Amino acid sequence: MSQESQFLAALRSLAGHPAARGLADDAAVLALGGTNLVITHDMLVEGVHFLPGDPPGDIAWKLLAVNLSDLAAKGARPVGVLMGYSLRGEPAWDAAFVAGLEQALSAFDAPLLGGDTVSIPAQAPRTLALTALGTADGPVPSRSGARPGDQLWVSGTVGDAGAGLRILLGELQGGAALVERYRTPTPQLEAGHRLAPLVGAMMDVSDGLLIDAARLGGASGAAVEIDLGDVPLSDAFLSALGDDPPARLAAATAGDDYELLFAGSPEQEGTILALSQELGLPFTRIGSFAEGDGLTLLDRGVPLPLPERLGWEHGLSPVESAPGAP
Amino acid sequence: MSQESQFLAALRSLAGHPAARGLADDAAVLALGGTNLVITHDMLVEGVHFLPGDPPGDIAWKLLAVNLSDLAAKGARPVGVLMGYSLRGEPAWDAAFVAGLEQALSAFDAPLLGGDTVSIPAQAPRTLALTALGTADGPVPSRSGARPGDQLWVSGTVGDAGAGLRILLGELQGGAALVERYRTPTPQLEAGHRLAPLVGAMMDVSDGLLIDAARLGGASGAAVEIDLGDVPLSDAFLSALGDDPPARLAAATAGDDYELLFAGSPEQEGTILALSQELGLPFTRIGSFAEGDGLTLLDRGVPLPLPERLGWEHGLSPVESAPGAP
């Protein structure tokens, strides 16, 4: 067990309140005054979750987006955010950050309600924290509700942000759309809200499709099978990386997608596809749940060995080591 | 205007939602489902808000206490917390932190609901974030409700934590009780809850009695007068620093007290004193509000010039640069 896993296990032993959902969900869910208050808190650290050269305004957007993505996965609508900000004596950087924050708050209709600023040494990495609050009047999907026989779905396209990061690191050539997916992800708030009553389980894909799907199966006590050939890829991704199994595996393990991963019974398939049409957002069937446990990988029907790394696990991820858990 | 003040001014322009209280209160207050949800977020940075050698368990306690103190100032009862934690590969330190966190969560009946862990470089300062949620069914005092003629009160004793910090820095000799006040402050949750319906305005004293009193007066649009001779000092403080005006001024500008500072009309004086008796917690009248603005200082009735520094302002404080504001 890694040091971080040990730490998380120790914290879980303190988190017996039902609203904590065992620190194993995307967010805490607290029944309050006839509604469900959904609360999430994620931090971004310079050099870990964003690159020192990323535009400050984009970092503000990402800070908001990664937290709102957790609300989206629980079907919640944002009611406000609190921000923790580290000052390092760089007024131009700070001003550009605030300008981006204003755009993002407005785009997602999430008012700034409070927070804290702290001064940090000039050589310390910038550390940004955000707490997002949302409400969900309807059911709040967990990660544990998938049942054998359910279909596994993902929204949008996968792998774009990972490709964008590789472009920024000089490891890959590709279009600006991929970099944009890395720097300014879109939380699927409307889709999450509309899907919540239709799904058995839902989470956002932040650490990589394979690792997050394994978590969904693990929490639900079911086996998961994914066919890489069905994983939805964007044209920009296909141009940059092609369509062979290594490219598909890269997409499925890259992380930072902020798409929705959800389980639906076969009876819901028509409703889910109709919603996809209505929203103009692809929902793609990429696999299924079965009795048992573990993750099985196929490539167009042919079994494929699991890669050594399913995604990001130990706080080294572009974002979030253990979603929803401290 | 300092860089931090400019940054805060820019953020305030984004925080038009009434729940944000203009980023000028100890916490956000959101009407939700028939109750008031009170939310605060404060960060602690190693070397800024705590000393690298402080016991990890005490740092956990302080992280919780400084946030719960904001809830106390709004009369709220804790419903839970979310924590942001930075891992630096020090399992023994982390384990001691979790043990202290468990004690503190239990002492304040504040369940851990979620959060995030991030890995940071080994040489980066530890950065800890906490969001505390509380509810207040009754009135939620602001900082702006003091009226000319009101009395200014403070709970407990002031200056102990500041003296404790000086002991830890080797600048002062004194008892362990002072160090304890610095490392493991007590949020006045019960007192805050009981005082909320009695007061015109209330906040916690985190940056220093004088600066926080000036903020209370400023927010209320009233002048404040404080008599240093009335500021309550502990026996431990008096033993270490004596009872002359410089010692009293040190107490009133030191910060990290986490006592309650509140305004009450003269008609409430008897009720406030009876509550003090009932709780076994001193409430001391230290001044009054009048028409006008600004802070006036007396020492046993004799006017005293204001010191150059009223408390901590620019993120250099033992805790919290601008309480309640990002």
Q: Do B112 and A11 touch (CB under 8 A)?
A: yes
Q: Do B114 and A326 touch (CB under 8 A)?
A: yes
- For B85-116, the pLDDT digits (tens) are 999 999 999 999 999 999 999 999 999 999 99
Q: What is the pLDDT at residue A6?
A: 85
How distant is the Cα of A160 from the closest Cα of chain B, in angstroms? 23
Contacts of B322 in chain A (CB under 8 A): 117
The pLDDT of residue B132 is above 50: yes
The Cα–Cα gap between A165 and A158 comes to 13
Q: Do A87 and B117 touch (CB under 8 A)?
A: no
Q: What is the pLDDT at residue B2?
A: 74
Among the partner-chain residues B39, B84, B125, the one whose CB lies closest to the CB of A129 is: B84
Contacts of A135 in chain B (CB under 8 A): 32
The pLDDT of residue A101 is above 70: yes
* DSSP per-residue string spanning B220-281: HT-EEEEEGGGS---HHHHHHH-SSHHHHHHHHH-----EEEEEE-GGGHHHHHHHHHHHT-
The Cα–Cα gap between B301 and B126 comes to 45
Among the partner-chain residues A34, A48, A82, the one whose CB lies closest to the CB of B131 is: A82
Furthest-apart CA pair in chain B: how many Å? 57
Among the partner-chain residues A41, A79, A121, the one whose CB lies closest to the CB of B115 is: A41
Q: Do B120 and A48 touch (CB under 8 A)?
A: yes
- To the nearest 10°, report the CA torsion of B291, B295, B296, B298: 130
- For residue A302, the surrounding DSSP H or E stretch is strand A302-304
The pLDDT of residue B231 is above 50: yes
- For B257-310, the pLDDT digits (tens) are 999 999 999 999 999 999 999 999 999 999 999 999 999 999 999 999 999 999
How distant is the Cα of B173 from the closest Cα of chain A, in angstroms? 29
Contacts of B116 in chain A (CB under 8 A): 41-43, 129, 320-321, 325-326
Q: What is the pLDDT at residue B216?
A: 97
Among B81, B54, B84, which residue's Cα sits nearest to residue B69?
A: B81
The Cα–Cα gap between B175 and B39 comes to 35
The Cα–Cα gap between A25 and A322 comes to 9
Q: Do B324 and A114 touch (CB under 8 A)?
A: yes
Provide the β-strand partners of residue B29: B38
The Cα–Cα gap between B136 and B19 comes to 14
Q: Could you tell me if A39 and A64 are in contact, meaning their C-beta atoms sit under 8 angstroms apart?
A: no
- For B3-26, the pLDDT digits (tens) are 778 888 999 999 999 999 999 899
Which pairing describes strands B295-299 and B223-227: parallel, antiparallel, or unpaired?
parallel
Contacts of A19 in chain B (CB under 8 A): 80, 111, 113
Please report how many Cα atoms fall inside a 13 Å half-sphere around the Cα of residue A99, on the Cβ side: 9
Q: What is the pLDDT at residue A104?
A: 97
For A73, A74, A146, A173, A268, the CA distances from A197, given in Å and listed in that order, are 12, 10, 13, 41, 10
Contacts of A8 in chain B (CB under 8 A): 117
Contacts of B86 in chain A (CB under 8 A): 43, 45, 127
**B169: how many CB neighbours lie within 10 A of its CB?**
9
Q: What is the pLDDT at residue A133?
A: 98
Contacts of A111 in chain B (CB under 8 A): 15-17, 19-20
The Cα–Cα gap between A262 and A201 comes to 6
How distant is the Cα of A126 from the closest Cα of chain B, in angstroms? 10
The Cα–Cα gap between B192 and B283 comes to 12
Q: Do B43 and A11 touch (CB under 8 A)?
A: no
Contacts of A126 in chain B (CB under 8 A): none
Among the partner-chain residues A32, A43, A89, the one whose CB lies closest to the CB of B118 is: A43
Contacts of A31 in chain B (CB under 8 A): none
The Cα–Cα gap between A200 and A268 comes to 10
Q: What is the pLDDT at residue B321?
A: 33
Q: What is the pLDDT at residue A4?
A: 78
B12-28 burial: b if 16+ Cβ within 10 Å, else e: bebbebebbbbbbbbbb
Neighbouring residues of A308: CB distance < 8 A, sequence distance ≥ 6: none
Among the partner-chain residues B19, B34, B314, the one whose CB lies closest to the CB of A80 is: B19
The pLDDT of residue B314 is above 50: no
- For B163-210, the pLDDT digits (tens) are 999 999 999 999 899 999 999 999 999 999 999 999 999 999 999 999
pLDDT confidence tier of residue A1, bands split at 50, 70 and 90: low
The Cα–Cα gap between A41 and B130 comes to 9
Among A283, A261, A269, A268, which residue's Cα sits nearest to residue A216?
A: A261
Compare A294 and A4 and report the one with higher pLDDT: A294
Among the partner-chain residues B15, B114, B135, the one whose CB lies closest to the CB of A28 is: B114
Instruction: Report the residue of A41, A126, A203 to disrupt the B interface, i.e. the one with the largest count of B CBs within 10 Å.
Output: A41
The pLDDT of residue B326 is above 90: no
Compare A122 and A61 and report the one with higher pLDDT: A61
* DSSP per-residue string spanning B119-146: E--TTSPPEEEEEEEEEESS----SS--
- For B263-277, the pLDDT digits (tens) are 999 999 999 999 999
Cα four-point dihedral sign A141, A146, A151, A153: positive
For A33, A150, B188, B233, B278, the CA distances from A271, given in Å and listed in that order, are 31, 14, 53, 68, 61
Residue B97, classed as helix, strand or coil, is helix
pLDDT confidence tier of residue A318, bands split at 50, 70 and 90: very low
Angle made by CA atoms B47, B182, A13, in degrees to the nearest 5: 80
Q: How many residue pairs bridge chain A and chain B with CB atoms within 8 Å of each other?
A: 275
Q: Do B17 and A45 touch (CB under 8 A)?
A: no
For A108, B47, B119, B131, B288, the CA distances from A122, given in Å and listed in that order, are 32, 13, 19, 25, 42
Among A87, A2, A126, which residue's Cα sits nearest to residue B120?
A: A126
pLDDT confidence tier of residue B1, bands split at 50, 70 and 90: low
Q: What is the pLDDT at residue B323?
A: 34
Average pLDDT value over all residues in chain B: 93
The pLDDT of residue B70 is above 60: yes
- For A175-195, the pLDDT digits (tens) are 899 999 999 999 999 999 999
- For A262-299, the pLDDT digits (tens) are 999 999 999 999 999 999 999 999 999 999 999 999 99
Nearest Cα residue in chain A from B29: A113
The Cα–Cα gap between A230 and A18 comes to 36
Instruction: Report the residue of A83, A112, A116, A312 to disrupt the B interface, i.e. the one with the largest count of B CBs within 10 Å.
Output: A116
The pLDDT of residue A165 is above 50: yes
Q: Do B325 and A30 touch (CB under 8 A)?
A: no
Q: Find the length of chain B.
A: 326
Q: What is the pLDDT at residue A322?
A: 35
Angle made by CA atoms A112, A114, A115, in degrees to the nearest 5: 120
Provide the β-strand partners of residue A172: none
| ipTM value | 0.92
* DSSP per-residue string spanning B177-218: HHHHHHHS----HHHHHHHTTT-SEEEEE-S-HHHHHHHHHH
Tell me the one-letter amino acid at B66.
V
- For A9-34, the pLDDT digits (tens) are 999 999 999 999 999 899 999 999 88
Q: Do A117 and B4 touch (CB under 8 A)?
A: yes
Nearest Cα residue in chain A from B319: A118
Among the partner-chain residues A84, A117, A324, the one whose CB lies closest to the CB of B322 is: A117
Q: What is the pLDDT at residue A323?
A: 34
Among the partner-chain residues B21, B79, B91, the one whose CB lies closest to the CB of A3 is: B91
Q: What is the pLDDT at residue B313?
A: 66
Q: Do A19 and B129 touch (CB under 8 A)?
A: no
Average pLDDT value over all residues in chain A: 93
Q: What is the pLDDT at residue B294?
A: 96
The Cα–Cα gap between A76 and A78 comes to 6
Cα four-point dihedral sign B94, B99, B102, B107: negative
Cα four-point dihedral sign A248, A196, A104, A322: negative
Q: Do A33 and B28 touch (CB under 8 A)?
A: no
Tell me the one-letter amino acid at B44.
L
Q: Do A8 and B89 touch (CB under 8 A)?
A: no
Q: Could you tell me if B202 and B140 are in contact, meaning their C-beta atoms sit under 8 angstroms apart?
A: no
Q: What is the pLDDT at residue A321?
A: 33
How distant is the Cα of B213 from the closest Cα of chain A, in angstroms? 20
Q: What is the pLDDT at residue A313?
A: 67
**A130: how many CB neighbours lie within 10 A of its CB?**
32
What the block records as the tokens of A209 is 């499709």
**A241: how many CB neighbours lie within 10 A of its CB?**
21
Cα four-point dihedral sign A26, A31, A37, A43: negative
Contacts of B131 in chain A (CB under 8 A): 39, 41, 82, 131
- To the nearest 10°, report the CA torsion of A11, A15, A16, A18: -140
What average pLDDT does this structure show over A145-170? 97
* DSSP per-residue string spanning A148-216: TTPEEEEES-SSHHHHHHHHHTTS----HHHHHHHHS----HHHHHHHTTT-SEEEEE-S-HHHHHHHH
